[in-house]
Amino acid sequence: MTREKTRLFVDTALGVGQSVDLTREQAHYLFGVMRLGPGARLALFNGHAGEWTAEVTEAGKRGGRLSVLGQSAAQLDPPDLWLVFAPLRKARTDFIVEKAAEMGAARILPVQTEFTNAERIRQDRLQAHAVEAAEQCGGTFVPPVENLQKIEKLLDTWPAERRIMFADEALVGRSRALADDTARGAPWAIFIGPEGGFSEPERKRLRAMAQAHPVSLGPRILRADTAAVAALTLWQSTLGDW
C-alpha cells in the first residue's frame, strides 16, 4: 500500500479489517485540522506493529471511526540507545524530546543533577511531544519518556552492559571522538549535562564507571539542547543505523 501523509498514533492493536474508535482529540486533529472526511485515507501506527493504511468510516466533531485496510510499512525500531539529559526550561526540554524521537533514541530519561534548574517535568506532555515527533517524521516507534529521577539513583542501578557516551564539557577542544569499533550493537546511553554543566563529583563518578566513554563535542561549548542533537548525530553516524 502507498504510504499516506497524514499519520496518527493509536493505542490499539492493528490488523486488516480492524475498526478503530477515535478520541475527541484525534477526531479534532483529523477532521478539524487535517480536514479529512469519510473515505479519506491515513496512516496508523501503534509503536510496535509497523504502519497501516486506514480509511475514515465515520467523522464527527467529538469522535469518529476508522477501518484498517492493510499494512504499508514494516516496524522500524531504533538502536538500543538511551538519551539521559537534565531538563532545561520548558521549550528547550520539549525540543530535546522531539529531536531525540526524530533522531532514533529508544528511551528518554530526564535526570536531576546538581545544577539542574527544573524541579519537575510534565511527563505526559513530554510523551505527547515524542508521539507527535514520530507522527511527523514517518516513524513507527515512540520512545518512552520516563519520569524525572536523580542521576545518583539512576547510576546506582546502572546495567553493567550498557555503555555510556559521556558528553564531557571538560574535553572541549580536545579530540575525543567515538571510535567506530567501540561496542557496535551493544546497548548504549548518551549523557548530556544541564546548562550549568555536570558538577565535579558527577564528572568524577561518570568517568570512574567502567562503561563510560567520555567524548568531546568539538572546540565550542554547546548549549545543552544543541549538545543533545550533536551527540545523537555523532553516535548514530558512528555506531547507529544511519
Which residues lie near ligand SAH (CB under 6 A)? 167-169, 171-172, 192-193, 195-198, 216-218, 220-222, 224, 227
CB 46, CB 23: distance < 8 Å: no
Angle between helices 123-137 and 90-103 in degrees, nearest 10? 40
- For residue 90, give the 3-state DSSP assignment: helix
Q: How far is the CB of 7 from ligand SAH (least distance, A)?
A: 32
Report d(CA 190, CA 105) in Å as an integer: 10
Q: How far is the CB of 52 from ligand SAH (least distance, A)?
A: 39
Pick between residue 155 and residue 172 the one whose CB is nearest to ligand SAH.
172
Residue of this chain nearest to ligand SAH (CB atom): 193
Q: Residue 34 corresponds to which cell in the numbers above? A: 487535517
For 65, the enclosing helix (H) or strand (E) is strand 64-73
Pick between residue 50 and residue 214 the one whose CB is nearest to ligand SAH.
214
Pick between residue 128 and residue 222 the one whose CB is nearest to ligand SAH.
222
Q: How far is the CB of 96 from ligand SAH (least distance, A)?
A: 11
Q: How far is the CB of 234 from ligand SAH (least distance, A)?
A: 10
- 55 φ, ψ (degrees, to nearest 5): -120, 140
> Nearest-CA neighbor of 70 among 55, 88, 85, 92?
55
Pick between residue 17 and residue 219 the one whose CB is nearest to ligand SAH.
219
Give strand ranges (E) for 80-144: 81-85, 107-112
Q: How far is the CB of 86 from ligand SAH (least distance, A)?
A: 8
- For residue 12, give the 3-state DSSP assignment: coil
Pick between residue 63 and residue 214 the one whose CB is nearest to ligand SAH.
214
